[in-house]
């Protein structure tokens, strides 16, 4: 009997639900994971993440490198896109088109769990925010600083040199200014700011000792901002940009170079008042405040091997600010509140007599989803393999019985 | 009664079985030879004047509690670790008056500490690459050999120069820039320095005696008392003599403390129950703390005194009074910065020459401990076994009762029994014996004797399994934690659980194959564990870092991942049997082929289940500990690769892309993936699961393993191709015959 001709739509559907596509995706994913693991030794973890697991379309194809320098002429699609196709394959082939029978119930359940894990990966990749909170004993903190997100902070300084509440220009508002310029107006400040020449990774050089390249901006007080190649092994983006302060009173504008690694504000005066502008990590306000009560760090006797890191904090939530609660955060025992999780990340001996504790604060909408996915996948696989084992044992028993009857 | 044809068939089958068994033995021998090539086998040397320790003295010394690597353990365990690191073996063979003697780690360590004069002649140092010694003009015999401290001594200066060059290279370009040879030199020199620190650690060498004037630690404490008493005499002689007297004391102390500080880091030998501290710290650590503070204080003091002397120039009656006014605060500050255990209250000067000195008592504990150590040293230096034994017993009575193991658990007697039991060594021995019985069983197939042997082998494999499980439980009980916490722990666990599973399958099917698989699998991995323990030379019961201290996660994530490894390894070994068996024609009946394929399929499913759940559990643990579910850490990637490969195998089988041979070839490749995840990623030197060692030898062994596996896979693929061609040819032959027959039938008669 001649095969029925299929239309293009069905052929596409067949392709996306095929075993072959599933196997191809898994093999490519395996190769990507393998190459990225070996390459981490040379380009660091963040370099490997950027190269192999990026969702940027301009990094769609990856050329693996062997021993850090030999480029392998084997273009592979990035892992993000391979996972996207695998998800589609599982959805179409493993959930929608799979034969719905009791024999396949386990496979359907496990496909559902694994597809869920891929969703967790996508949500984590796009939505989770990681930040750090470095706390000293006795001080209260209601913000953290985001990893790899910069900002521009403008603040007035008191006569005693104390910083007043800053005005913040967020990462998203300046990250696209590589070629363009944007003017920021502040209602309560006697000046505007013009930001331009934003660089993802740059260093400040002095004109006397370095030659400016074409990408460098103009020099300010004998210095200029030189774009630099990102060193993935250092895992640090040294953002930089040029800022022009435009006083509203008609005073001449001032040119300022900002760089993330400077760590201190560039100051200027307008209307006799002192102001500062700097480029720290972007501040992230928290819906709670934390005060470090004490932190404990222990090592095994005679070694540098940590045996215990823990901190006791007093914290107050946004809705119950009159109630202060105590919580002890340990390794493997974080604090969770309103979708935020505080982890004990690092610890050091007291600094200037004050106990110190470093926390990582994470907001990930998919935080607890992996647990559900794990139970679903495990249950699915157990059902699937148990049914197969049962079928095998029944067949074997029948065979043995038949043999015994034959011998009799 | 067998016919002549039947007998020939049986004989033929036996020959093929023998060929198959011999091939498996050759593979094991090649693997064993690879590991064996890393060992040194030199004939024992005559050690003139060596006197063996009394057995009872050694017995007492074995259980002396010591603090090492963050946990309290018996002296025997510490000695084993040092012997593995320096000597690369569990014992040292020497000749004493022409007689062969094997020194245990405890005996050797006692020699090093208490009679270094003899220990320096023992061939302690294993050198894997003699090229580093040729560079310092030493005569070498073979690439790998062992040398005594005294043989190396004349070349210390040159070795030190080379070591300094390597250290500067590390400082400027990092450890990754070192060549294999430089890395070997670096490790060797660290061991050499470690040995120097072990020799007679509580006593002061002649050079330091000469420079500092102290002959023992006891002397040092006594000198503080006499110092205070003699201050008055120095005063009477004049202010200049007083200053010289005080300076002299400070300089002597600094010289002594400098030596102690250098040695103290190695002197983890005897416990010191420090009041008020959470856990016992070693006496070496205590000395180190005290002496480093002393060193810092002296450094500050000497700089200020030099500045004062530059300011005043030569002291005379005109400037003496002013100098002294400046000097007193410097001296006071020096005294104030000394650690409490050593501190004398700074003399209070009212007028020049009329100071009121108040002596605070030194820590009773530290002085007593030093005195106890000196007593122990004296006892063991005597030639009477009775005195030696009494010395150790007295020392143990003083301290052993006060041990506080803290949260980490521990048991001195339990660990002594564990060391004595050598569960895993017995496991190897029993399995090897089972292997011999197995060969005999293969040659007696179909006879009563063969059936008896089957049950003997079954019993022996069960016994080996029991020994392995007992070893795991014993270790777990001592460490007071889940059975797997370190890389070493995974090996016996894989063997124990793997043997249980194989015995269960064997119990159901009774074909004997799973017993053979169990023998090969058990011997290979237990032997690997043994070699790893010696080569790595670290404590296999190291306490866990803070983030790993969770019995819940260790019992779930780590156990599941390891069970996944076990499933994949068992599947791969069965596939080795299948592929090699088919090449030799031992496995030729459909039923056996299907049986092995079904078991391998089941084991792959088992591996997928445990690897997948284990990997997700690891992600959940990471999310609880570090705030992220997945970080693409090399170890995480390794686990993911296993899951991916198992999914590839199962989907390829379901999709009909692989059949029987394809499944077994893929299963063998699964072994490669598991070894990458289990071992290879640890040597990359990156990530959160990095174990920190980068041994060129170990990497070489891993690559050899990969080559061997690829060879087996290649053989399997070639066999599959030949099989398919034969099948097709036979189909064509049948078709040709059928056509010929048909045409013959159509021929007119």
Domain boundaries along the sequence of chain B: 45-201, 206-368, 422-543, 560-739
**Nearest chain B Cα distance for residue A333, angstroms:** 7
For chain B, what is the mean pLDDT?
80
Tell me which residue of B72, B146, B55 sits closest to B107, measured CA to CA.
B55
CB A361 within 8 A of CB B647: no
Determine the Cα–Cα distance for residues A104 and A89; give it in Å rounded to an integer: 17
Q: In what order do the strands lie in the sheet with A240-247?
A: A181-185, A191-199, A240-247, A254-259
Task: Please report the ipTM that was assigned to this predicted complex.
Answer: 0.85
Nearest CA in chain A to B550: A332
CB contact under 8 A, A300 and B625: no
Q: Which of B407, B546, B605 sits opposite A309 (nearest CB)?
A: B546
Q: State the Cα angle at B88 between B82 and B91, rounded to 5°.
A: 80
Whose tokens are 């043995």? That residue is: A400
* pLDDT 10s digits, B434-466: 998 998 888 887 889 999 999 999 999 999 999
Q: Is the dihedral of CA A297, A303, A304, A306 positive or negative?
A: negative
- In chain B the first and final C-alpha atoms are separated, in Å, by 48
Beta-strand pair B71-74/B65-68: antiparallel
Neighbours of B151 (CB within 10 A): 17
**Nearest residue in chain A measured CA to CA from B635:** A37
Cβ separation A301–B598 shorter than 8 A: no
Chain A, residues 336-395, CB within 8 A of chain B, namely: 341, 343, 345, 360-362, 364, 366-367, 370-371, 373-374, 377-378, 381-382, 385, 388-389, 392
* Partner-chain contact A385 B686, CB within 8 Å: no
**How far is the alpha carbon of B544 from chain A, nearest alpha carbon, in Å?**
7
Spatial CA neighbour of A295 closest among A314, A279, A282: A314
**Over 60: is that where the pLDDT of B282 sits?**
no
Helix, strand, coil: what percent of chain B each, to 5?
A: 70, 5, 25
Residue in this structure with the two tokens 């400070």, named with its chain if needed: B250
**Residues of A whose CB is below 8 A from B608:** 381
Kindly report, residue by residue over B579-623, the tens digit of the pLDDT.
988 887 778 788 889 999 999 999 999 999 999 999 999 988 888
How large a percentage of chain A has pLDDT more than 70?
Answer: 96
Reading the block at residue B169, the tokens are 């290279």
In the stretch 40-69 of chain A, residues with CB closer than 8 A to chain B read: 40-41, 44-45, 48-49, 53
Question: How many Å separate Cα A3 from the centre of its chain?
Answer: 50
- Which residue of chain A has the CA closest to B606? A385
Q: What angle do CA B96, B98, B104 make, to 5 degrees?
A: 35
pLDDT(B362) > 60? no
Residue of B208, B172, B229, B366 whose CA lies nearest to B284: B366
Q: Is A302–B70 a contact, with Cβ atoms under 8 angstroms apart?
A: yes
Give just the sign of the alpha carbon dihedral A173, A176, A177, A181: negative
| pLDDT tens-digit series, residues A272-324 | 899 999 999 888 888 888 999 988 888 887 678 888 889 999 888 876 656 67
CB contact under 8 A, A345 and B627: yes
Percent of chain B past pLDDT 70, that is, above it, reads 75
Would you call A381 and B608 a contact, using CB atoms and an 8 Å cutoff?
Answer: yes
**Average pLDDT in the A88-99 region?**
91
Q: Are strands A273-278 and A152-157 parallel, antiparallel or unpaired?
A: antiparallel
Task: Identify whether the C-beta of residue B704 lies closer than 8 Å to the C-beta of residue B619.
Answer: no
Contact A224, A205 (CB under 8 A): yes
Of all helices (H) and strands (E), which one includes residue A350? strand A340-351
- Tens-digit pLDDT profile for residues B152-192: 999 988 999 999 999 888 887 767 677 878 888 888 898 88
Helices then strands, each counted (H, E), chain B: 27, 11
In the prediction, which pLDDT does B349 show?
43
Cα atoms found within 13 Å of the Cα of residue A169, Cβ hemisphere only? 22
Kind of pairing, strands B99-103 and A340-351? unpaired
pLDDT at A44: 76
Tokens 């021993």 locate to A67
Among A28, A42, A301, A370, the residue to mutate for chain B (most B Cβ within 10 A): A301
pLDDT at B373: 66
Using a CB-CB distance cutoff of 8 angstroms, which residues of chain A are in contact with residue B408?
300, 307
Chain CA centroid to CA B40, Å: 18
B250 burial class (0-12, 13-18, 19+ CB within 10 angstroms)? buried
Interface A-B: count of C-beta contacts within 8 A: 169
Q: Do A370 and B629 touch (CB under 8 A)?
A: yes
* Disruptive mutation site among B176, B505, B629, B684 for chain A (greatest number of A CBs within 10 Å): B629
Contact B109, B82 (CB under 8 A): yes
User: Which chain B residues in 51-80 lie under 8 Å from chain A, judged by CB atoms?
Assistant: 67-71
Total Cβ atoms within 10 A of residue B686: 17
B686–A40 C-beta distance less than 8 A: yes
How far are the Cα atoms of A350, B148, B739 from residue B550, in angstroms, in the given order? 27, 44, 73
Report CA dihedral (A301, A302, A304, A309) to the nearest 10 degrees: 20
Q: How does pLDDT run across B385-440, given as a tens digit for each residue?
A: 888 888 888 878 876 666 666 666 678 889 999 999 999 999 999 999 999 899 88
Cβ-based contacts of B264 with chain A (< 8 Å): none
Contact A30 B644 (CB under 8 A): yes
Are B641 and A33 in contact (CB < 8 Å)?
yes
Suggest the residue from B276, B618, B627 to mutate for an interface test with chain A (most A CBs closer than 10 A): B627
Give per-residue pLDDT as tens, A274-286. Answer: 999 999 988 888 8
Q: What is the mean pLDDT of residues A152-174?
A: 89
CA distance A342 to chain B (A): 8
pLDDT tens-digit series, residues A94-143: 999 888 888 889 999 999 999 999 999 999 888 888 888 989 988 888 88
Burial of B492 (0-12, 13-18, 19+ CB in 10 A): buried
pLDDT tens figures, B66-93: 878 778 888 899 899 999 989 988 899 9
Cβ neighbors of B464 (< 8 A, separation 6 or more) are B426, B427, B430, B431, B434, B499, B522
Is residue A131 within 8 A of residue A345, CB to CB? The reply is: no
| Residue B260: predicted pLDDT | 63
Contacts of A399 in chain B (CB under 8 A): none
Contact status, residue B231 vs residue B355, Cβ threshold 8 Å: yes
* Closest-CA distance of chain B to residue A32, Å: 10
* Residue A137, strand partner residues: A292
pLDDT tens digits for A175-234?
Answer: 899 888 999 999 889 999 999 999 988 888 888 888 877 777 788 888 999 888 766 556
**Which residue stretches of B558-659 are H helix?**
559-583, 590-626, 634-654
Dihedral sign computed on CA atoms, order B542, B546, B552, B557:
negative
Structure tokens at B15: 């020959």
Q: Which two tokens stand for residue A300?
A: 């095994």
Q: Is the pLDDT of residue B521 over 90?
A: yes
CB contacts, 8 Å: A29 with chain B: 644
Of A331, A360, A371, the CB nearest to B620: A371
Residue-wise burial string across B272-295, b where 16 or more C-beta atoms lie within 10 A, e elsewhere:
bbbeeeebbbbbbbbbbebbbbbb
* Domain B206-368 coded CATH 1.10.3470: no
Q: Taking residues B505-529, report their average pLDDT.
A: 92
Question: B549 vs chain A: nearest CA distance in angstroms?
Answer: 8
Helix (H) or strand (E) holding A62: strand A61-62
The two structure tokens encoding residue A73: 């002429």
Distance between CA atoms of residues B273 and B67, nearest Å: 10
B153 vs B361: CA distance, rounded Å? 42
């Amino acid at each position: 009997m001649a095969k029925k001709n299929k239309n293009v739509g069905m052929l596409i559907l067949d392709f996306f639900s095929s075993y072959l596509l599933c196997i191809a995706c898994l093999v490519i994913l395996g190769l990507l994971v393998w190459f990225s693991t070996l390459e981490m030794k040379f380009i660091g973890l963040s370099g490997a993440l950027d190269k192999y697991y990026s969702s940027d379309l301009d990094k769609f194809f990856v050329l693996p490198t062997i021993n850090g320098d030999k480029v392998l002429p084997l273009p592979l699609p990035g892992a993000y896109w391979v996972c996207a196709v695998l998800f589609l394959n599982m959805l179409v082939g493993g959930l929608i088109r799979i034969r719905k029978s009791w024999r396949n119930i386990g496979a359907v359940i496990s496909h559902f769990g694994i597809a869920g894990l891929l969703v967790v990966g996508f949500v984590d990749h796009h939505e989770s925010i990681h930040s750090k909170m470095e706390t000293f004993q006795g001080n209260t903190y209601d913000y953290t600083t985001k990893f790899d997100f910069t900002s521009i902070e403008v603040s007035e300084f008191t006569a005693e040199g104390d910083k007043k509440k800053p005005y913040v220009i967020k990462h998203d508002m300046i990250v696209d200014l590589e070629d363009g310029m944007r003017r920021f107006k502040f209602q309560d400040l006697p000046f505007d700011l013009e930001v331009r020449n934003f660089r993802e990774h740059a260093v400040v050089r002095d004109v006397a000792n370095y030659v400016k390249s074409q990408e460098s901006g103009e020099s300010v007080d004998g210095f200029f901002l030189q774009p630099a190649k990102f060193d993935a092994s250092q895992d640090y983006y040294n953002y930089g940009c040029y800022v022009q302060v435009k006083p509203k009173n008609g005073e001449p504008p001032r040119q300022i170079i900002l760089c993330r690694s400077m760590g201190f504000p560039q100051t200027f005066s307008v209307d006799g008042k002192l102001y500062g502008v700097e480029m720290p990590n972007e501040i992230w306000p928290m819906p709670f405040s934390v005060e470090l009560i004490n932190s404990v760090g222990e090592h095994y006797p005679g070694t540098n091997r940590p045996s215990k890191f823990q901190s006791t904090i007093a914290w107050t939530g946004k809705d119950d600010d009159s109630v202060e609660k105590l919580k002890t955060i340990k390794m493997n025992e974080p604090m969770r509140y309103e979708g935020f999780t505080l982890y004990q990340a690092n610890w050091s001996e007291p600094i200037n007599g004050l106990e110190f504790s470093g926390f990582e604060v994470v907001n990930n909408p998919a935080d607890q989803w992996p647990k559900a996915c794990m139970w679903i996948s495990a249950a699915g696989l157990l059902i699937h393999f148990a049914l197969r084992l049962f079928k095998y044992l029944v067949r074997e028993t029948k065979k043995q019985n038949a043999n015994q009857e034959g011998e009799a | 009664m067998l016919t002549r044809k039947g007998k020939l068939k049986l004989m033929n089958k036996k020959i093929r079985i023998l060929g198959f068994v011999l091939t498996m033995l050759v593979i094991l021998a090649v693997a064993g030879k690879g590991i064996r090539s890393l060992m040194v086998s030199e004939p024992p040397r005559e050690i003139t004047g060596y006197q063996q320790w009394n057995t009872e003295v050694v017995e007492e010394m074995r259980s002396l509690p010591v603090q090492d690597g963050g946990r309290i353990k018996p002296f025997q365990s510490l000695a084993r670790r040092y012997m593995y690191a320096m000597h690369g073996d569990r014992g040292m063979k020497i000749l004493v008056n022409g007689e062969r003697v094997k020194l245990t780690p405890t005996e050797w360590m006692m020699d090093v500490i208490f009679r270094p004069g003899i220990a320096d002649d023992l061939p302690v140092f294993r050198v894997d690459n003699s090229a580093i010694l040729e560079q310092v003009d030493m005569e070498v015999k073979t690439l790998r050999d062992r040398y005594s401290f005294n043989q190396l001594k004349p070349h210390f200066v040159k070795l030190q120069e080379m070591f300094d060059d390597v250290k500067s290279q590390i400082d400027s370009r990092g450890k990754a820039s070192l060549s294999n040879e430089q890395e070997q030199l670096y490790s060797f020199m660290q061991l050499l320095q470690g040995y120097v620190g072990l020799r007679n650690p509580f006593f002061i060498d002649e050079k330091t005696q000469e420079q500092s004037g102290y002959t023992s630690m006891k002397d040092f404490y006594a000198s503080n008392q006499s110092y205070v008493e003699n201050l008055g005499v120095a005063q009477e002689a004049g202010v200049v003599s007083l200053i010289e007297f005080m300076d002299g004391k400070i300089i002597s102390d600094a010289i002594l403390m400098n030596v102690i500080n250098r040695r103290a880091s190695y002197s983890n030998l005897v416990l010191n129950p420090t009041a008020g501290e959470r856990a016992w710290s070693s006496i070496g650590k205590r000395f180190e703390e005290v002496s480093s503070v002393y060193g810092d204080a002296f450094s500050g003091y000497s700089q200020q005194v030099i500045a004062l002397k530059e300011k005043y120039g030569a002291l005379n009656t005109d400037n003496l009074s002013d100098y002294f006014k400046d000097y007193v605060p410097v001296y006071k500050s020096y005294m104030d910065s000394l650690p409490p255990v050593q501190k004398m209250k700074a003399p209070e000067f009212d007028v020049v020459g009329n100071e009121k000195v108040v002596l605070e008592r030194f820590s009773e504990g530290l002085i007593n401990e030093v005195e106890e150590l000196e007593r122990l040293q004296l006892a063991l230096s005597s030639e009477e076994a009775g005195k030696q034994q009494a010395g150790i017993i007295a020392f143990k009575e003083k301290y052993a009762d006060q041990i506080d193991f803290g949260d980490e658990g521990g048991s001195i007697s339990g660990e002594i029994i564990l060391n004595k039991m050598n569960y895993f060594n017995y496991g190897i021995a029993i399995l090897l014996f089972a292997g011999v019985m197995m060969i005999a069983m293969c040659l007696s197939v179909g006879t009563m004797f063969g059936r008896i042997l089957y049950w003997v082998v079954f019993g022996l494999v069960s016994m080996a399994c029991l020994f392995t499980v007992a070893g795991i439980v014993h270790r777990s009980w001592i460490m007071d934690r889940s059975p797997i916490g370190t890389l070493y722990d995974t090996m016996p666990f894989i063997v124990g659980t793997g043997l249980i599973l194989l015995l269960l399958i064997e119990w159901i099917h009774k074909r004997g194959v799973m017993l053979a698989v169990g023998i090969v699998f058990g011997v290979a991995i237990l032997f690997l564990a043994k070699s790893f323990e010696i080569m790595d030379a670290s404590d296999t019961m190291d306490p866990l870092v803070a983030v790993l201290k969770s019995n819940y996660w260790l019992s779930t994530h780590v156990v599941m991942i390891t069970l996944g490894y076990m499933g994949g390894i068992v599947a791969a070994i069965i596939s080795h049997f299948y592929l090699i068996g088919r090449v030799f024609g031992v496995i030729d009946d459909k039923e056996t082929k299907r049986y092995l394929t079904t078991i391998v399929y089941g084991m792959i499913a088992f591996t997928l289940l445990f690897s997948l759940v284990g990997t997700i559990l690891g992600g959940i643990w990471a999310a609880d500990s570090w705030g992220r579910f997945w970080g693409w850490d090399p170890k995480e990637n390794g686990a993911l690769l296993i899951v991916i490969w198992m999914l590839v195998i199962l989907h390829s089988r379901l999709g009909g892309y692989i059949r029987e041979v394809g499944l077994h070839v893929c299963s063998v490749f699964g072994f490669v993936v598991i070894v990458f995840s289990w071992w290879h990623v640890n040597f990359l030197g990156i990530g959160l699961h990095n174990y920190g060692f980068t041994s060129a030898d170990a990497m070489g062994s891993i690559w050899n393993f990969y080559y061997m596996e690829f060879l087996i896979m290649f053989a399997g693929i070639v066999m599959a191709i030949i099989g398919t061609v034969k099948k097709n040819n036979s189909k064509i032959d049948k078709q040709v015959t059928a056509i010929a027959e048909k045409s013959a039938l159509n021929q007119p008669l």
